[in-house]
């Protein structure tokens, strides 16, 4: 082999190589990021609790008798801030994971539950539930009360996802352009429905419904956290069973079938998982967009597209991101609060455009 | 027992709407046999392969794999017994060559399949590309990566359940001459170990080199079937492809063909020489 040949071989060997970081490092890094964000979120806010007072406020150490704020700190932390952080983390995790699963299912990095109307479908159903449960039919559904909103949001999201899937895929192929356009149409229909409900709602219902249109975590309570925790658990368990199938599904439905995946079953599980997690998020804090796009996209750049790691990592990064965004939302215009949906859109929409530009050939527009 | 066919199709037809894509095809393939399916565009070659892989379901007729109805196997059981390389596989996410080849292992843990993955990557000559992202490679390199993935799937299945079936749909469509021959060699090596190999091929000369038996299809039916010497004759080619060719013989008696125009050029040069 000549020197030139050897040089060329060395060049080929090293160009374009991709190195993936170790799984343990990725997961530990994400966990550390989440802990840091949570610590920050716990200490800042309308009533600041400095780090030195945090252990006492958490009840880890005896309260310093010289600290006049001890009782106030504890109250704020345990009844307002911690449930809010917990909900933000759970919802961020679910939105990130729902986005990643949806992108795998549709083989399309532009999929996001909020963007294509799945969140709007859930919000429409939840708003409908508010109006109905407040009307003369109320006594039929009282037994469902604590679960009414999550259940309605889940059903709304599920129907929307199924309709979207039916429209955009034909004989095992999913058209990305058709998928995005159908998503826009479905979101428009759901939003028109929400508009109609706003029109017929009374003042008190209106206040509740408006909440879904903006997206906010300000109504966070322990009971809401308890309602969505099982949904997150279901999502985490379900992820475990879908990750291998989603990898092979990227090659196409036929290829997934040839390599032993029960494709129909996989698709059903994915649709239910997306709907459970999106529905749970919507029922507590309304429509928060772009988390589902940004989180898996950033992660794919760092750790690659394999779902075994991508799905749990999306939960971790989504959680950190939303806790951070919510902390920002409640501090930058304090004592007022900025709707968190505005923040996530401000960061997420440009990233979405960036992906769109890079994938222009893929979309086929 | 050695001669019992691993895969049989009896009287299979496929009708979609008004169109008959496949009309009463019979087929039996035994362990260790290499079969090439050839024919003009739209003859039903790929359709036949998709029926044999259980991707499609026949409107009439039955297919059995290892003595059991093809559709009675679950997708996972099927994947352990037959591996199928499709014609076009596009990957829109940035998986590396190694990650794609690893997908062939199915539900096996990575640790027990990694040596098979390494061997398959080396066998198709992609050792230098294993950490490259698949979408950045050329069409032929991507095709070889998918072939390596299929080889891993075949090896995993055969380790557990004995010789299986390898289905290849135009596996050489993007490959250069050398890699076409290498693919044939790799397939033949598998056949020597008992794998039944069925490939849809366009290049008749390659089919002659590839196969023990050639099935010539036309209009959804079998037009001719037999050894290369029996099937690749100027008579069959004229009947099926509707062109005139000259079929010559190599020193070892294998047929090869030259389309008429090419033959005239060759004749004139030999006169000059």
CB–CB contact B103 A257 (8 Å): no
For residue B104, the chain A residues in CB contact (below 8 A) are 259
pLDDT in tens, A29-52: 999 999 999 999 988 877 778 777
Model confidence at B132: pLDDT above 70: yes
> Is A273 inside any structural domain?
yes
Residue A218: which domain range? 94-357
Q: Please name the residues in contact with A79: beta carbons below 8 A apart, sequence gap of 6 or more.
A: A222
Tell me whether residue A211 is in a domain. yes
Q: Per the CB < 8 Å rule, is B132 touching A18?
A: yes
Instruction: Give CB contacts under 8 A, 24+ apart, made by B237-240.
Output: B237/B204, B240/B39, B240/B40, B240/B43, B240/B216
Q: What CATH number is associated with residue A317?
A: 1.10.3470.10
Q: In sequence order, what are the beta bridge partners of B84?
A: B167
Task: Kindly give the pairing relationship between strand B5-16 and strand A173-174.
Answer: unpaired
Q: What is the DSSP letter of B201?
A: -
Phi, psi of A90 (to 5 degrees): -65, -45
The residues, ordered by sequence, that sit 6+ positions from B133 with a Cβ below 8 Å of its Cβ are: A16, A18, B94, B95, B96
What is this structure's pTM? 0.87
Report yes or no: A250 and B93 within 8 Å, Cβ to Cβ. yes
* Interface probe with B: pick from A106, A259, A265, A308, most Cβ of B within 10 Å: A259
Residues of B whose CB is below 8 A from A20: 96
Integer Cα distance of B128 and B154 in angstroms: 23
Cα–chain center distance at B139: 18
> Please, which pLDDT band fits residue A364 given cuts at 50, 70 and 90?
very low
Q: How far is CA A262 from CA A268, A269, B116, B164, in A?
A: 10, 11, 24, 20
Alpha helices in chain B (DSSP H): 45-52, 75-79, 97-102, 110-123, 139-161, 177-192, 204-210, 228-231, 234-241, 260-272
- Between residues B165 and A224, the one the model is more confident about: B165
Interface test with B, best of A5, A255, A299, A358 (most B CBs within 10 A): A255
In this prediction, residue B273 carries a pLDDT of 34
Q: How far is A363 from chain B (nearest CA, A)?
A: 11
Residue to test with chain B: of A170, A244, A260, most B Cβ within 10 A: A260
- B139-161 vs B110-123: helix crossing angle, rounded to 10: 130
Interface residue ranges in chain A relative to chain B, Cβ cutoff 8 Å = 9, 12-13, 16-20, 107-109, 244, 247-248, 250-252, 254-255, 257-263, 300, 304-306, 359, 362
Phi then psi for A35, rounded to 5 degrees?
A: -60, -45
Q: Has residue A86 been placed in a domain?
A: no
Q: Domain for residue A288, yes or no?
A: yes
How many Cβ atoms sit within 10 Å of the Cβ of residue B239? 13
What's the mean pLDDT when you consider all of chain A? 84
Percent of chain B exceeding pLDDT 70 equals 94
pLDDT score recorded for residue A220: 81
Residue A172 domain-assigned (yes or no):
yes
- Judged by average pLDDT, the poorest of A14-28, A85-99, A100-114, A220-234 is A14-28
Q: How many angstroms separate the Cα of A208 from the Cα of each of A205, A339, A342, B82?
A: 5, 15, 19, 57
Contacts of B110 (CB under 8 A, 6+ apart): B102
- Which pLDDT value is given to residue B1? 43
Residue A271 lies in a domain: yes
| Cα separation of the two ends of chain B | 56
Domain ranges of chain B: 1-81+164-180+189-227, 86-163
Mean pLDDT of all residues in B153-179: 93
Residue A21's closest CA among A301, A245, A249?
A301
Yes or no, beta carbons of A16 and B136 under 8 Å apart: yes
User: Using a CB-CB distance cutoff of 8 angstroms, which residues of chain A are in contact with residue B106?
Assistant: 259-260
Per-residue pLDDT of B26-68, as tens digits, reads 999 999 999 999 999 989 999 999 999 999 999 999 999 999 9
Strands annotated E in chain A: 169-170, 173-174
- Give pLDDT tens digits for B205-218: 999 988 999 999 99
Q: Is the pLDDT of residue A293 over 80?
A: yes
Q: Which tokens go with B200? A: 């849809």
CATH number of B1-81+164-180+189-227: 3.40.50.300
Count of structural domains, chain A? 1
DSSP letter, residue A135: S
On whether residue A282 sits in a domain, the answer given is yes
Flag the least confident range among A322-326, B217-221, B239-243.
B239-243
Cβ separation A18–B96 shorter than 8 A: yes
Per-residue pLDDT, averaged over B116-144, amounts to: 93
pLDDT for residue A247 is more than 90: yes
Residue A155 contacts by C-beta under 8 Å, 6 or more apart in sequence?
A125, A279
Token pair of A314 as six digits: 């999306």
Chain B contacts of A362, Cβ < 8 Å?
A: 92
- The ipTM (two decimal places) reads 0.90
Residue with tokens 């060329």: A8
Contacts of A255 in chain B (CB under 8 A): 86, 89
């Amino acid at each position: 082999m000549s020197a030139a040949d050897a040089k060329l071989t060395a060049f080929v060997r090293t160009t374009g190589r991709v190195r993936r970081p170790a799984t343990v490092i990725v997961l530990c890094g994400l966990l550390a990021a989440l802990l840091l964000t949570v610590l920050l979120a716990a200490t800042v806010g309308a009533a600041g609790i400095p780090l030195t007072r945090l252990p006492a406020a958490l009840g880890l150490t005896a309260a310093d008798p010289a600290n006049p704020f001890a009782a106030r700190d504890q109250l704020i932390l345990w009844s307002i801030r911690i449930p809010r952080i917990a909900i933000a983390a759970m919802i961020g995790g679910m939105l990130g994971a729902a986005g990643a699963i949806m992108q795998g299912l549709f083989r399309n990095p532009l999929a996001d539950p909020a963007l294509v109307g799945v969140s709007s479908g859930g919000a429409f159903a939840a708003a409908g539930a508010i109006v109905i449960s407040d009307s003369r039919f109320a006594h039929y559904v009282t037994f469902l009360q604590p679960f009414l909103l999550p259940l309605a949001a889940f059903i709304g999201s599920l129907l929307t996802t199924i309709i979207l899937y039916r429209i955009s895929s034909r004989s095992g192929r999913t058209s990305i352009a058709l998928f995005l356009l159908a998503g826009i149409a479905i979101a428009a229909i759901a939003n028109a429905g929400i508009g109609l409900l706003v029109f017929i709602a009374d003042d008190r219902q209106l206040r509740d419904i408006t909440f879904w249109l903006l997206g906010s975590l300000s109504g966070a309570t322990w009971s809401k956290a308890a309602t969505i925790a099982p949904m997150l658990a279901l999502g985490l368990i379900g992820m475990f069973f879908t990750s291998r199938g989603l990898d092979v599904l990227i090659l196409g439905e036929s290829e997934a079938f040839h390599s032993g995946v029960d494709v129909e079953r996989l698709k059903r599980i994915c649709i239910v998982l997306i709907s459970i997690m999106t529905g749970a998020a919507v029922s507590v804090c309304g429509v928060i967009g772009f988390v589902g796009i940004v989180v898996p996209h950033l992660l794919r750049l760092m750790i690659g597209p394999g779902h075994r790691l991508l799905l749990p990592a999306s939960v971790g990064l989504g959680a950190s991101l939303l806790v951070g965004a919510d902390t920002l939302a409640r501090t930058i215009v304090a004592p007022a609060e900025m709707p968190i949906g505005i923040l996530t859109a401000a960061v997420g929409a440009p990233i979405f455009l960036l992906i769109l530009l890079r994938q222009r050939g893929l979309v086929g527009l | 027992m050695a001669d019992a066919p691993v895969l049989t199709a009896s009287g299979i037809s496929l009708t979609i709407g008004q169109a008959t894509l496949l009309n009463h095809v019979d087929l039996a393939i035994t362990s260790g046999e290499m079969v090439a399916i050839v024919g003009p565009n739209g003859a039903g070659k790929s359709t036949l392969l998709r029926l044999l892989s259980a991707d499609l379901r026949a409107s009439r007729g039955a297919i059995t794999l290892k003595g059991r109805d093809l559709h009675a196997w679950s997708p996972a059981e099927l994947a352990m017994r037959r591996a199928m390389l499709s014609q076009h596989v596009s990957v829109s996410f940035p998986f590396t060559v190694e990650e794609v080849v690893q997908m062939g292992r199915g539900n096996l843990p990575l640790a027990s399949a990694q040596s098979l993955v390494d061997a398959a990557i080396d066998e198709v000559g992609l050792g230098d590309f294993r950490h490259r992202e698949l979408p950045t490679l050329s069409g032929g390199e991507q095709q070889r990566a998918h072939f390596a993935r299929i080889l891993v799937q075949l090896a995993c299945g055969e380790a557990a359940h004995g010789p299986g079936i390898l289905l290849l749909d135009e596996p050489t469509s993007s490959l250069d001459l050398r890699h076409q021959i290498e693919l044939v060699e790799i397939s033949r090596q598998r056949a020597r170990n008992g794998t039944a190999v069925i490939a849809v091929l366009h290049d008749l000369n390659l089919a002659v080199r590839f196969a023990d038996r050639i099935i010539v299809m036309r209009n959804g039916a079998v037009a001719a079937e037999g050894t290369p010497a029996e099937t690749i004759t100027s008579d069959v080619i004229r009947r099926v492809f509707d062109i005139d060719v000259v079929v010559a013989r190599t020193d070892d008696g294998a047929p090869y063909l030259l389309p008429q125009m090419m033959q005239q050029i060759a004749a004139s040069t030999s006169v000059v020489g």
